């Protein structure tokens, strides 16, 4: 049997889609988490057909199959944090939210993905509703970009007002990323239910990337799993992600892959 003296690593469970180009989704999660000296447990929520330019198809994994994987891993392994990316369907998002509600002690970092950088819509209205009504309440940190926050809370102009709704739902942190703003420097804003407001500025890198949001959310989950306080974890994850983008490499004809 196993050696009780063997060293351990924080385990980060990932509920994300598979990207066969290896830039986003589970491949991004696993490599980013490994790079923080943590161990990733990958549970696919959806299978996608995509290349480094854009997504072509998304096929949800059966919710029962997700649940069986989730339950078995959790029964076997002490999980330090959970990263949630695309869920594949509104039904999957609700099922995942129900599963997460049973383990409130484990921090959940949710990337509310709406659209791939190539333009493909990964979350339609029912998925947005499921995220807003179920998934956010069981999340500890929500990591939206500006488009995603606006899609989740249409009509709420001020990000601080939208964050207040997130806090009221039970999620205590919002890391609003500014990569999609087009501005230089990129401004990321961390808002906390405790009144925290921290702006970080990063020089804009002049390239198009595939999997940057997944890299940030997964490395953040790992830093939280390592035990850092949220503002410190957010700083480490941003610095790591910026360096991955700065060193990004080409694997296909589309966007660059972060060097995780």
Give the interface with ligand PLP as residue ranges (CB under 6 A): 16-17, 19, 24-25, 48, 50, 55, 85-86, 111, 113, 116-118, 210-214
Q: Which stretch of DSSP H or E encloses residue 101?
A: helix 90-101
How far is it, in rounded angstroms, from Cα 130 to Cα 89?
9
Closest CA to 193 of 210, 220, 170, 216: 170
167 and 200 Cβ atoms separated by less than 8 Å: no
Q: Does residue 96 sit in helix, strand or coil?
A: helix
CB of 225 to ligand PLP, least distance (A): 19
How far is it, in rounded angstroms, from Cα 160 to Cα 50?
34
Sign of CA dihedral 143, 149, 153, 159: positive
How far is it, in rounded angstroms, from Cα 42 to Cα 137?
22
CB of 17 to ligand PLP, least distance (A): 3
Instruction: State which residue, 24 or 63, has the beta carbon closest to ligand PLP.
Output: 24
Instruction: State which residue, 23 or 192, has the beta carbon closest to ligand PLP.
Output: 23
CB of 161 to ligand PLP, least distance (A): 25
CB of 19 to ligand PLP, least distance (A): 4
CB of 78 to ligand PLP, least distance (A): 26
Instruction: State which residue, 66 or 192, has the beta carbon closest to ligand PLP.
Output: 66
Instruction: State which residue, 84 or 234, has the beta carbon closest to ligand PLP.
Output: 84
CB of 117 to ligand PLP, least distance (A): 3
32 and 49 Cβ atoms separated by less than 8 Å: no
Instruction: State which residue, 60 or 192, has the beta carbon closest to ligand PLP.
Output: 60
How far is it, in rounded angstroms, from Cα 221 to Cα 70?
17
Instruction: For residue 99, give every residue at least 6 positions away whose Cβ sits within 8 Å of its Cβ, in sequence order, or none.
Output: 67, 70, 71
CB of 13 to ligand PLP, least distance (A): 15
Instruction: State which residue, 50 or 200, has the beta carbon closest to ligand PLP.
Output: 50
Instruction: State which residue, 84 or 171, has the beta carbon closest to ligand PLP.
Output: 84
Q: What is the dihedral of CA 4, 42, 34, 108, to 10 degrees?
A: -90
């Amino acid at each position: 049997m196993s050696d009780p003296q063997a060293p351990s690593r924080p385990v980060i469970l990932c509920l994300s889609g598979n990207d066969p180009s290896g830039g986003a989704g589970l491949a991004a999660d696993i490599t980013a988490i490994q790079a923080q000296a943590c161990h990733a447990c990958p549970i696919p929520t959806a299978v996608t057909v995509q290349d480094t330019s854009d997504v072509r198809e998304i096929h949800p994994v059966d919710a029962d199959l997700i649940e069986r994987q989730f339950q078995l891993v959790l029964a076997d392994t002490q999980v330090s944090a959970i990263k949630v990316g695309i869920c594949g369907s509104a039904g999957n998002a609700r099922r995942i939210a129900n599963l997460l509600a049973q383990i409130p002690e484990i921090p959940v970092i949710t990337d509310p993905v709406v659209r791939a950088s190539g333009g493909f819509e990964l979350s339609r209205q029912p998925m947005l509703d499921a995220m807003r009504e179920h998934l956010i309440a069981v999340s500890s940190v929500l990591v939206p970009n500006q488009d995603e926050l606006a899609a989740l809370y249409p009509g709420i102009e001020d990000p601080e007002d939208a964050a207040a709704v997130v806090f009221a739902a039970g999620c205590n942190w919002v890391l609003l990323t500014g990569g999609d703003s087009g501005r230089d420097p990129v401004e990321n804003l961390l808002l906390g239910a405790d009144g925290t407001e921290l702006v970080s500025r990063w020089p804009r890198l002049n390239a198009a990337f595939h999997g940057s949001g997944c890299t940030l959310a997964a490395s953040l989950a790992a830093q939280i799993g390592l035990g850092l306080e949220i503002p410190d974890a957010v700083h480490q994850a941003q610095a790591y992600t910026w360096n991955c983008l700065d060193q990004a490499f080409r694997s296909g004809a589309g966007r660059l892959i972060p060097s995780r």
